[in-house]
Structure 1
Amino acid sequence: MSEYDFHALNDKEFEVLAADVISKRDGVLVERFKPGKDGGVDGRYFSSTGGEIIIQCKHWFKTGITALLSHLQKEEVEKVKKLSPERYIFVTSLELSKANKQKIKSIFSPFIHKESDVVGREDLNDFLGDNPNIEEKHYKLWMTSTTVLNRIIHSAIHGRSQYKIEEISSKLAMYAMTESHLKAEKKLEELHSVIICGEPGVGKTFLAEQLCYQYIAQDYKFIYIENSLNEAEDIFDPQKKQIFYFDDFLGTNYLEAFNAHEDSHVVSFIKRVQSSSNKRFILTSRTNILNRAKRLSEIFEQKNTSQNEFLLAVGNLSKFDKAKILYNHIWFGNLTPKYVNELYTDKRYLKIIVHKNFNPRLVQFITDCQRLDEVKPEHYWSYIETSLSNPSQIWRKVFDSQLSEKSLYLVLAVVLNEKPIEEGLLEEFYYRLLENKPGLAKSSSFTTEIKALTGALVNRTQVYDKKHYYSLFNPSIRDFVNSEYATNTALMNEVLTYLRSPNALIALANYSRNGIISQEALEQVLVRQLDYYLKATQISPKLDQYTLVLFNTVFANLGEQCLRKYDLDELLDRFFFGQENTIMLEEFEFLLSNLEMQALSPYDTRLSSYIRNKLNNELNESWDDLNDEFMYVADILNLMCVDEDLKDLLKTRVIEHYHSNLTGDVMEYDAFPDALETHEIEDSELYEFLTGRLDNIEIEFSDSEVWDVVYSCDKDTIVESNRDRYEEEAKSNPHRWKGISDSDAAENEQIDDLFERQGL
């Protein structure tokens, strides 16, 4: 028989259990009430003579019997006298001695008729032992039963799985059953496999683990897959009930997995499990990684793994689901009453639930009592508002106390680069940094430092070129870094100097436009960068992409001041004329901007010859995939005195490009988002879309040339893409298509009932 202390239940869950127990014990249908609406009534039924029998529950396992008795005498007795029921039944999760029961009976005399109407922990356990159907009805209670725990203890195939089970079990009480759980469970039952995907922090691992725990309780053997499906294949037993769990199954190096044919292995294993009635398979993945993997893996597409996907998104959580998540974190989070009071003042909990940045991980952060050492209760709500409005602040402790100076520089490089940064470039940055900053300890290698950051602050991924790239673990890290470090011009200059990333220069200029740093700060960094580079390349000038972006950024932001400080002719002689440079878009951008400022003359023979050679060679040899480059090239041609044949060649290439790419451009710009049939895509609208694109290019196109491109558009592909998108949206947000939802007022009332205070 189980000996519950009911710690896994919150107070509202305990009330439901108590009502079920009394219903079964007395052979009646107990009517439950919303907490607080009837002052001391959690349930009731009527006697054969019509008298009212009231049930009151107290889940006070945190406080103890002395506090409970005091509370009953001070606050509950008067409520019961006002209600004046025919009979009063009192249920608590505390252990009660015979003396305790007699005391409670006397407190509520004459309404409690007999000691058996004072129900304590031991009475509940005795009753549940004789009525296992009630035990199984209450998910979190059943999961902590002796029977289930015995199954769980013996369910793991090996030690690693056992450790994972213990970890899952420790988090059970905090779990809030939501609609997402029921939907994922339904899909798992139908297909035997489910891929739970979602963005970081939405709770996909928590959901997956609790689904595993649920099947373990049903006597499934648990296999936790850490690295490869070979681990599962080795212990696959057709005769046994088994559940396999593969968390983050694509990891971040999904190309490495594909090179090892892991995509084929995953699909084959899903099919194998699908045909086995006694097997279940749960996988998780971040949405963006899963989507990239599907684009790169023909097997994923061909075998239609999308049917196994379940998208877990904060946007799909109802307000009441969010309320349950928050309530459980408050109830089980060990917050002291003074902090809890701050959440209840003016129903502030509602503000958290409806906040645009609501996220289970953020809720865990703001209710974590260990983070509140320096936050006084009277400042707690301000702390919550700051955390909700600026989620990036959750990273402050990590940066302030857990990062070495070298690790900080690595994170700054990833942030400033904006786009994922290739591992080799980041490693070069690291060692240039160590070489030029004597104060940094050189004892640890790049591999050691970056390994400590991976999974905590950065992600390591492998993409189409088979190289590894680093990106931020969570976008909020960028917000925090920008707020804390972006205005430190000396630090930004150091990162740029050793990183030498064009993306970082562009990002810094955008910081100025977006108000993250001042224009003055930007100019200081840019001048330092250009002065440093001109000095470093005096002997061996080199025109690379970083140099070009630096030239463009400096001249674009300093304008006339730049022309006074730097000799443009000298720059052209050193870096352009006479150099065998690979053609780059930034080169044309730089020359065009100076042509437009009249700093360069279109009649300069050196310049016209240089541009003529560049355009001739590149347009004739390798410019097969022109896009925005058209605009720059056309503008340069129109400003320069060049032969008409160059303009004709550019025109030909533009037409060739759109013959091949119009369909893709239409989908990329979502020009016909609602078209589900080809007749809904009018040729006239395609013509308008294309001319809108061509208008930016200063070249004249005839109507026949434009219509010829329009007729090359593949409408079937556009329609098919739209249909796929609609199906995905319908799966992830079915309520969108129903047009039916509970009123805000009714849902808010339900939330208020949940948060009605008793044991908190």
Structure 2
Amino acid sequence: MSAPDYDFKSLSPYDFEVLARDLLSAHDGITYSTYRVGADGGVDLQAHTEAGVVIAQCKHTPDASKATLVRVARAEREKIARLSRRPIRYVFVTSADISPRDEQEVAEALDFVADAVEVHGRGWLNAVLSEHQHLERRHFKLWLSSTEAISEMLRGGVFLRGESRVRRIQRNYLRFVHHDICTQAEAVLSSSGCVLLTGAPGAGKTAIAEYLLLQWWHRGYRIIVDPRDVDRWWEWVEDDTPTVFFFDDTWGQTRYGDHTSRHYDSDVYEFIETILEKRQGGTQSKLLIMTSRIQVLHDTVRLSDASRRALELVAECRVGIKGLSAEVRSRILFNHVLHGVTDNETRRKLAQGGWWRDIVRHRNYSPRIVELIIARNGHAGSEALVADLLRSLNNPLEIWGSSFKALPDYDQQLLLTLAVMDSRHVPWRKLDPRLENIATNESGFEAAVERLQDSWIACEYVEGVQYFALVDPSQRDYLTLYLSASPSAMSRLIKNTVEFEDLTSICSQGAAIELAGQQRLFSLGEDLFRDVLDICFGVLLGRVRDLWEREMGNKMPIFDSGKGDGELFAVLFTRFIQVVHYHADRYRADSGNAVFPDGWLARELNELTAAGQLAQIETVGELADTLTLLADAFNHFAEHRIHPEIAKATVELEELCRSLWDSRDPQISQVPGDRNHAVELARAVVENAEALVQFVVRPKLHGASTDSIDQEVATYIRISGEPVEFAERLEVIESALGFRLPVSKEVINKLLASTDWEHSSNVGAKVSEYFTQPVQRTTAVSSATPIDALFRSLAPQEES
């Protein structure tokens, strides 16, 4: 970027004072400390030297005339004269554009306040900035305000939500407050090449991440935000362009599993591993920034092995955002009021009293809540604004209640539908069909989107396709709570589902806790859909069967044509297990009635069996993976008293798997002794050993020797880097194969004995420590602090 020529109008009075402090410290080689903002007795900054004290006064008056500055300087001279100790040097800093003659007249107005008097204006500030570019990077509020900066960022980066994301960053930068966690995160990213920012909803994770993005963009890095195309990840990470990747809500926005990609967790793990390996290999040009809600991380560690390993990789790159100091909270609140409230009378009242203390001390204080409430109450009176802030902090999710309940029925249903989908990025073609049967007098989908845009819904066009997302994650929390208490809304939502995945996302949030192996997926801490789904069980189970039959009807012609493969059959098989699971899950709500309509189970099992017999299953891995799916289902039902028909279904599914194994495995087409078969066989057995043993089936070697299989299993173990897991599983793997694996056992023993593995184990222990760190307490703000003066500066300038 070109040499700086800023007018500093984008800075608040406090931001300007901090900039002046940093520039004076860098220029003079001494440390200036912030002393007071507002009515300060003539001292904003001071520095102690062996010769005496240096005082600086900052006047953020970018449009002030010479006469105004002279008048202000004379007033400051009277304040300095009352100080108990005369400074050896006095520096008057203003954001006004002044000439050398102006500087001289202002200096003359300050005669005799110190042994030496200096006056610096806009030109001097820009000159010092050009000498200390690291300070220009840090004070990004200077350069981000320009249209050129935004255009350059868009040209050089890749943004999931395009220009709106960049514009949001530009809009929010005025309210940003730099604090110690920002410095910590910047240091971690610089040293490690990766940082994971974690915290509660609304804690400021994304704000800090965007601050880091801006710092590295200003250094010439390309920005890639929330990339969804996995193939492009590897293209970008392997090219020569310095790049910073940003994954917001990496493992899910409000709960684990928001991402629909089947292999997403594994892809993220491999990507993190690649970034860190490049760093260790000397490549400094690829950086990764991630955020995650702490609730989602708890589920992630528990439910996903790949994500657990990923978190172990970044254990020392994690920065928790909690326990913001009262001063930081206060400055965030001040910035939102400063830029969000324009009415002079409201500002005059807000400048009085200590109302802000109750806000910043509140147990539910959240920068996001502050932002939302001030944004919607910016033109309200002071009393109404403060009352709404306190009311919303007392009951955060009700921020959205009054707005949602005032919407037309169609708009409400659109938002509820979006809430149970992946609300970060939903294409129009997936959202509109789910509302076709909702009656409306409001002109339908397009009119609803127009009403909801920006307040509830963000709309984007990516390569000509319109995408939708809820504006804020807390909206999704509210909508989910609303659904949990509204059977009529839930029933309507279920009736209008289009794909089986629609019901999967709903049922996963309401599975019975009495089911063995049930894992709570919903991040708010309760199985919120449990009760409402019990009430709606008839509608739910009917729709589950309807969507299964539709999917089976669509897929069966593919198998009849001879084009159905093992992966397609695995999808159908998984779906059918879920159908059985959801019926078992609602067995108590069904009050002992038949869980399937007469003849339905036998008919659909026959269809599934026919598909399995026609499927082009060509690898032992596809067969073994199918067995594991069934084994997982058995584990769900093992300790649960289920309906006889469900028990019968699981037995018949087992018989189907045995039939497929017996009829297909001996006929798998492989060249005798082919190494590819040994590799595939080793992977299949290692990943599915428990299921093979459970169903007493054993893969055929097809010419591969036991030694070659042992070598491939050993290679798999070595690459995985999980010797403890394989030490515990080696016996079952040998049972699945029917012979011993001496080479694999030796590899495990060597890995367990290595110092590298001992270090890796310590990393795992550190992950656990991160989850149990106590929350820091915020300190109270006294009644006579710089923060009081800061809020007093809200008054119109002639009164402050």
Once the two structures are superposed, residues 430-480 of structure 1 have per-residue CA deviations (whole angstroms, 9 ceiling, x without a partner) of: 55x54xx5x64786599x989989995799xxxxxxxxxx99974566768
The question of 1:355 aligning with 2:362 is answered yes
- TM-score normalized with structure 1 length: 0.55
Q: What letter corresponds to residue 769 of structure 2 in structure 1? A: A
Do the aligned partners of residues 494 and 180 (structure 1) sit closer, same or farther apart at CA in structure 2, a change above 3 Å counting? same
1:730 to 769, 775, 780: 769
Do the aligned partners of residues 731 and 119 (structure 1) sit closer, same or farther apart at CA in structure 2, a change above 3 Å counting? same
Q: Secondary structure at the match of 1:372?
A: coil
1:407 to 394, 406, 411: 411
Do the aligned partners of residues 587 and 286 (structure 1) sit closer, same or farther apart at CA in structure 2, a change above 3 Å counting? closer
In structure 2, the gaps of 5 or more residues are: 422-426, 460-468, 498-502, 511-531, 544-581, 593-632, 645-761
Cα distance in 1 between the residues matched to 2:366 and 2:171: 21
The aligned residue for residue 564 of structure 1 is none
How many aligned residue pairs are there? Answer: 546
Matches within 5 A, 1:686-697: none
1:280 to 270, 278, 287: 287
Contact 1:241/1:279 (<8 A) preserved: yes
Cα distance in 2 between the residues matched to 1:449 and 1:352: 34
Deviation of residue 176 (structure 1)? 1.7
Contact 2:323/2:778 (<8 A) preserved: no
Cα distance in 1 between the residues matched to 2:55 and 2:588: 84
The aligned residue for residue 388 of structure 1 is 393
Contact 1:414/1:472 (<8 A) preserved: no
The aligned residue for residue 209 of structure 2 is 208
Do the aligned partners of residues 136 and 95 (structure 1) sit closer, same or farther apart at CA in structure 2, a change above 3 Å counting? same
2:14 to 12, 15, 24: 12
Deviation of residue 13 (structure 1)? 3.8
Deviation of residue 399 (structure 1)? 3.4
Once the two structures are superposed, residues 410-445 of structure 1 have per-residue CA deviations (whole angstroms, 9 ceiling, x without a partner) of: 54689999xxxxx9x9999855x54xx5x6478659
Cα distance in 1 between the residues matched to 2:274 and 2:771: 25
Question: Which has the greater radius of gyration?
Answer: 1
The aligned residue for residue 127 of structure 2 is 126
Q: What letter corresponds to residue 275 of structure 2 in structure 1? A: I
The question of 1:256 aligning with 2:261 is answered yes
- TM-score normalized with structure 2 length: 0.53
Contact 2:420/2:480 (<8 A) preserved: no
Do the aligned partners of residues 449 and 286 (structure 1) sit closer, same or farther apart at CA in structure 2, a change above 3 Å counting? farther
The aligned residue for residue 72 of structure 1 is 72
Do the aligned partners of residues 144 and 726 (structure 1) sit closer, same or farther apart at CA in structure 2, a change above 3 Å counting? same
Do the aligned partners of residues 216 and 49 (structure 1) sit closer, same or farther apart at CA in structure 2, a change above 3 Å counting? closer
Contact 1:168/1:213 (<8 A) preserved: no
Cα distance in 2 between the residues matched to 1:416 and 1:222: 30
Do the aligned partners of residues 355 and 253 (structure 1) sit closer, same or farther apart at CA in structure 2, a change above 3 Å counting? closer
Matches within 5 A, 1:497-646: 625=637
Do the aligned partners of residues 345 and 187 (structure 1) sit closer, same or farther apart at CA in structure 2, a change above 3 Å counting? same
Contact 1:393/1:480 (<8 A) preserved: no
The aligned residue for residue 566 of structure 1 is none
Cα distance in 1 between the residues matched to 2:67 and 2:262: 58
Q: Secondary structure at the match of 2:139?
A: helix
The question of 1:266 aligning with 2:271 is answered yes
Deviation of residue 349 (structure 1)? 1.7
Do the aligned partners of residues 629 and 177 (structure 1) sit closer, same or farther apart at CA in structure 2, a change above 3 Å counting? farther
Deviation of residue 392 (structure 1)? 3.7
Deviation of residue 122 (structure 1)? 1.8
Deviation of residue 324 (structure 1)? 3.2
Do the aligned partners of residues 358 and 68 (structure 1) sit closer, same or farther apart at CA in structure 2, a change above 3 Å counting? farther
Do the aligned partners of residues 228 and 246 (structure 1) sit closer, same or farther apart at CA in structure 2, a change above 3 Å counting? farther
Matches within 5 A, 1:432-443: 434=438, 437=439, 440=441
The aligned residue for residue 630 of structure 2 is none
Cα distance in 1 between the residues matched to 2:157 and 2:27: 43
The aligned residue for residue 193 of structure 1 is 194
The aligned residue for residue 139 of structure 2 is 141
Cα distance in 1 between the residues matched to 2:168 and 2:212: 14
Q: What letter corresponds to residue 384 of structure 1 in structure 2? A: L
Deviation of residue 210 (structure 1)? 1.6
Do the aligned partners of residues 186 and 430 (structure 1) sit closer, same or farther apart at CA in structure 2, a change above 3 Å counting? same
Once the two structures are superposed, residues 278-319 of structure 1 have per-residue CA deviations (whole angstroms, 9 ceiling, x without a partner) of: 321223344555555555543333455452586666634233
Do the aligned partners of residues 108 and 397 (structure 1) sit closer, same or farther apart at CA in structure 2, a change above 3 Å counting? farther
Q: Secondary structure at the match of 1:351?
A: helix
Cα distance in 2 between the residues matched to 1:483 and 1:544: 18
Q: What letter corresponds to residue 259 of structure 2 in structure 1? A: Y
The question of 1:379 aligning with 2:384 is answered yes
The aligned residue for residue 60 of structure 2 is 59
The aligned residue for residue 82 of structure 2 is 82
The aligned residue for residue 641 of structure 1 is none
Contact 2:341/2:378 (<8 A) preserved: no
Cα distance in 2 between the residues matched to 1:743 and 1:473: 29
RMSD: 6.0
Once the two structures are superposed, residues 647-671 of structure 1 have per-residue CA deviations (whole angstroms, 9 ceiling, x without a partner) of: xxxxxxxxxxxxxxxxxxxxxxxxx
Deviation of residue 332 (structure 1)? 4.0
Q: What letter corresponds to residue 731 of structure 1 in structure 2? A: Y
Contact 2:199/2:322 (<8 A) preserved: no
Q: What letter corresponds to residue 376 of structure 1 in structure 2? A: G
Contact 2:241/2:285 (<8 A) preserved: yes
Cα distance in 2 between the residues matched to 1:623 and 1:242: 45
Which gives a bigger RCO, structure 1 or 2 (Cα 8 Å, sep 6+)? 2
Do the aligned partners of residues 733 and 10 (structure 1) sit closer, same or farther apart at CA in structure 2, a change above 3 Å counting? farther
The aligned residue for residue 96 of structure 1 is 98
Q: Secondary structure at the match of 1:346?
A: coil
Cα distance in 2 between the residues matched to 1:362 and 1:499: 33
Once the two structures are superposed, residues 503-524 of structure 1 have per-residue CA deviations (whole angstroms, 9 ceiling, x without a partner) of: 99x99xxxxxxxxxxxxxxxxx
Q: Secondary structure at the match of 2:178?
A: coil
Q: Secondary structure at the match of 1:117?
A: strand
Cα distance in 1 between the residues matched to 2:73 and 2:454: 57
Q: What letter corresponds to residue 770 of structure 2 in structure 1? A: K
Q: What letter corresponds to residue 136 of structure 1 in structure 2? A: H
Once the two structures are superposed, residues 310-347 of structure 1 have per-residue CA deviations (whole angstroms, 9 ceiling, x without a partner) of: 66666342333323322333344454454344444332
Contact 1:258/1:297 (<8 A) preserved: no
Deviation of residue 277 (structure 1)? 2.7
The aligned residue for residue 35 of structure 2 is 33
Once the two structures are superposed, residues 133-179 of structure 1 have per-residue CA deviations (whole angstroms, 9 ceiling, x without a partner) of: 3x524653367469x99999777775646956676455434322233
The question of 1:367 aligning with 2:374 is answered yes
1:326 to 317, 324, 333: 333
Percent of residue pairs identical = 21
Do the aligned partners of residues 212 and 627 (structure 1) sit closer, same or farther apart at CA in structure 2, a change above 3 Å counting? same
